[in-house]
């Protein structure tokens, strides 16, 4: 499986705003891992997952179909 092609398919189609949101949520996860407690970490992870889900839902149908083809070809 060509993981690089799969990752590139996603990364090249995510908007800058979605990138920034995911990075913001990732930073919150790191802060909680270093300085927080377990409930804070769980909450931060949920926020990161929500940001990822939002980024994927913002992909156009065409991009989703193209990514599916790339994934199928890489498996």
- 45-59 tens-digit pLDDT: 999 999 999 999 999
Q: Where are the alpha helices (DSSP H) in the chain?
A: 3-11, 16-35, 38-57, 61-74
Asked if the model's pLDDT at residue 75 lies above 80, the reply is no
Q: What's the confidence (pLDDT) of residue 5?
A: 86
- CA dist 5 and 73 (Å) reads 9
Residue with tokens 């590139």: 8
Asked if the model's pLDDT at residue 72 lies above 90, the reply is no
Both ends of the chain: CA-CA distance in Å?
A: 5
* Tokens representing residue 75 in the block: 């498996």
Residues 12, 16, 18, 23: what is their CA dihedral angle, to the nearest 10 degrees?
Answer: 100
């Amino acid at each position: 499986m060509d993981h690089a092609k799969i990752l590139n398919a996603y990364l090249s189609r995510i908007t800058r705003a979605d990138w920034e949101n995911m990075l913001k949520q990732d930073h919150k996860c790191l802060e909680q891992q270093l300085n927080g407690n377990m409930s804070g970490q769980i909450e931060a992870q949920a926020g990161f997952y929500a940001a990822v889900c939002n980024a994927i839902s913002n992909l156009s149908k065409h991009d989703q179909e193209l990514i599916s083809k790339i994934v199928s070809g890489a498996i």
